[in-house]
Amino acid sequence: MIKFKVCKTSELPVGEMKLFVIDGKDLLIANVSGSFYCVQNTCTHREASLSEGILLDCSVICPLHAAQFDLKSGKASFGLPILDLKTYPIFIENENIFVGI
């Protein structure tokens, strides 16, 4: 695994999420109550950009068909037979956010 520096914690306020392209992968990083989570940005059902969706508690809601994914586990929780999201580990070092790929 390689750790990639993404941004500073202050650049991603509580309750916000953002798209980052890291090592050729579109990744969504969200700040949920001061905890950071990283998942693949592309919905597994219709390939929508989840960064354009809605952050609700510790879930992201797809902007196309309202599928909901848990940011901690990547699990789909909408009732559609869709695949879970891939998750990536987050590391915080000296106020810097790193993602492990």
Residue 78 has pLDDT above 80, yes or no: no
Burial degree of 3 (CB within 10 A; 0-12, 13-18, 19+): middle
Q: What is the mean pLDDT of residues 2-10?
A: 97
Q: What is the pTM of this model?
A: 0.94
Identify the pLDDT of residue 25: 96
Identify the pLDDT of residue 77: 84
Six-digit token pair at 26?
A: 């579109």
Q: Identify the band that residue 68 occupies on the pLDDT scale cut at 50, 70 and 90.
A: very high
Identify the pLDDT of residue 66: 85
Say how far apart CA 81 and CA 44 lie, in whole Å: 10
Domains in the chain with CATH codes: 3-100 (2.102.10.10)
pLDDT in tens, 11-62: 999 999 999 999 999 999 999 999 999 999 999 988 899 999 999 999 999 9
Identify the pLDDT of residue 79: 63
Write the CA distances from 87 to 10, 51, 94, 100, integer angstroms: 22, 15, 23, 10
